[in-house]
Amino acid sequence: MRLVLLAVGTRMPAWVNDGFSEYQKRMPPEMRLELEEIPLPKRGKADTASLIRSEAELIRKRLDKYPAARVVALEVKGRALDTPALSRKLGALKDIGQDLVLLTGGPDGLCPALSASADEQWSLSNLTLPHPLVRVLLAEQLYRGWTLLTGHPYHR
């Protein structure tokens, strides 16, 4: 099973790359965590709605590589999961051999149409989180979910 984070934005600060990498290394081979960065479109004089639509097109092209995956858009107004629920979802997907692709937008969020086309929308918090932080937080929670599934003592 693959867990793929499709994230808009490149050139993250070292602490973001280091944090994500730390949890990525901890994931087992049967539930490997991957990151695909999608470059931000040129900001220029384009309006926000156009930029978000451009980002959505870039994400859709990447999604073509995962036709059978469960797609989840990370949204502030998505469904809030606690760690046990996330762990159960990971376990169910692993049992059926389905990959999970998680979408996170750039500074302006995800295109509403793209988010609506996802299989689910999850919220990591009611707070608006900076998109670099989302990478680290998500990686840690995926790792925590796996540890809960396997009885590893990390999740107490």
Question: For 2-150, which CATH class?
Answer: alpha beta
Binding site: what residues are annotated?
Answer: 74, 105, 124-129
Q: What is the 3-state secondary structure (H, E, C) of 105-138?
A: CECCECCHHHHHHCCEEEECCCCCCCHHHHHHHH
Binding site for S-adenosyl-L-methionine: what residues are annotated?
Answer: 74, 105, 124-129
pLDDT in tens, 109-155: 999 999 999 999 999 999 888 989 999 999 999 999 999 999 999 97
pLDDT in tens, 72-116: 999 999 999 999 999 999 999 999 999 999 999 988 899 999 999
